[in-house]
Amino acid sequence: MIKNVSDIAEKGFKKINILNGAKKIQDIFSEEEIECFCAYDHDELVGVVTKKELVVAHPNRIVADIMSDRYRCIDSATPIWKVKEIFDTYKNIEIILLEDQGELVGYVTRTILNMELNKSIDLLTGLYRSDYIFYNAYNLLKEAQEVSVIFMDVDNFGCIDKQYGHIIGDDILRSIARILKENTDQKSFLCRYAGDEFAIVAPYSMEHSERIAKNIIKAIHSYTFPKDIQVSVSIGISGYTLDKENSLNTLKPIMNMINDASLLSTKAKEKECSAIITNMGVIA
């Protein structure tokens, strides 16, 4: 459900000595199409040489002259979303080296990561898909924060889609996505969960999240949708805290938490348009 960086890593790299000539490395690059060279001084990793350095390097130089220190080393089991955070934090690095028990096992570049993350973006709405909020819910709970999941289901969307067609239906979903973006702050995480379902993971109390939900309902109610179609959503909110005596080791509690919010949104549909149902629990 949440990919680790090892799942997308390039394994083709080569260890080189800092005294190797640049011409030798350029030849290997051309002949073997290896684009990442890890530079060592004896047994110590001290730099990297990539295509970027090789294309401008004078062949008479040595590796020590052309290598870059703009890299980071991380564990190969690191989630890809954490790698995104690292790249976002360190704007000057273009490559991250992966280690498994102290041994280099691969690398990932910004380009490789962005290509993978693009698969997690819903093309219709531009929102991330569900794995994005699984990762962030997991992080929030690990930090012992109270977490709420706001799960939204568009009322009677199937009927709207059938009556007005997929083009209008898609336009409505895009409009709802924009409304949700405008009502989601930087501490919260929004995704298109599936079909006409959206979810927000927020580091807030149930009361705070219920206020967010009411603002969303109000914004959707006041929005003018195509053909003046009346659109509403039913919302389920599940709130959780992590028992301080226990640690969070698996994603199963997160899956249960999001599933609970989904079930609550289904129950809300049985009441009336734009209903909200909430529930609070503790992950033990």
Whether residue 139 is found in the same domain as residue 278: yes
Whether residue 150 is found in the same domain as residue 248: yes
- The pTM is what? 0.83
| Residues paired with residue 79 on neighbouring β-strands, in sequence order | 4
Structure tokens that stand for 173 in this block: 């979903």
Whether residue 106 is found in the same domain as residue 134: no
Q: CB within 8 A of 191, min separation 6: which ones?
A: 122, 127, 128, 129, 130, 132, 133, 198, 199, 200
Q: Alpha-carbon distance 134 to 124, whole Å? A: 21
Whether residue 245 is found in the same domain as residue 222: yes
Structure tokens that stand for 174 in this block: 């895009």
Whether residue 157 is found in the same domain as residue 252: yes
Amino acid at the residue 92: N
Whether residue 137 is found in the same domain as residue 241: yes
Enclosing domain of residue 233: 120-283
Could you list the pLDDT tens digit for every one of the 284 residues in the chain?
688 999 999 999 999 999 999 999 999 999 998 999 999 999 999 999 999 999 999 999 999 999 999 999 999 999 999 999 999 999 999 999 999 998 999 999 999 999 999 999 999 999 999 989 989 988 888 776 788 999 999 999 999 999 999 999 999 999 999 999 999 999 999 999 999 999 999 999 888 999 999 999 999 999 999 999 999 999 999 988 766 555 566 677 788 888 888 888 888 877 766 666 666 554 44
Q: What is the CATH number of the domain that holds 30?
A: 3.10.580.10
Q: CB within 8 A of 50, min separation 6: which ones?
A: 35, 36, 37, 68, 94, 95, 109
Whether residue 85 is found in the same domain as residue 133: no
Integer angstrom CA distances of residue 61 from 21, 26, 40, 51, 111: 6, 11, 16, 15, 28
Whether residue 70 is found in the same domain as residue 84: yes
Q: What is the CATH number of the domain that holds 262?
A: 3.30.70.270
Whether residue 150 is found in the same domain as residue 14: no
Whether residue 104 is found in the same domain as residue 130: no
Whether residue 94 is found in the same domain as residue 199: no
Number of structural domains (the chain) is 2
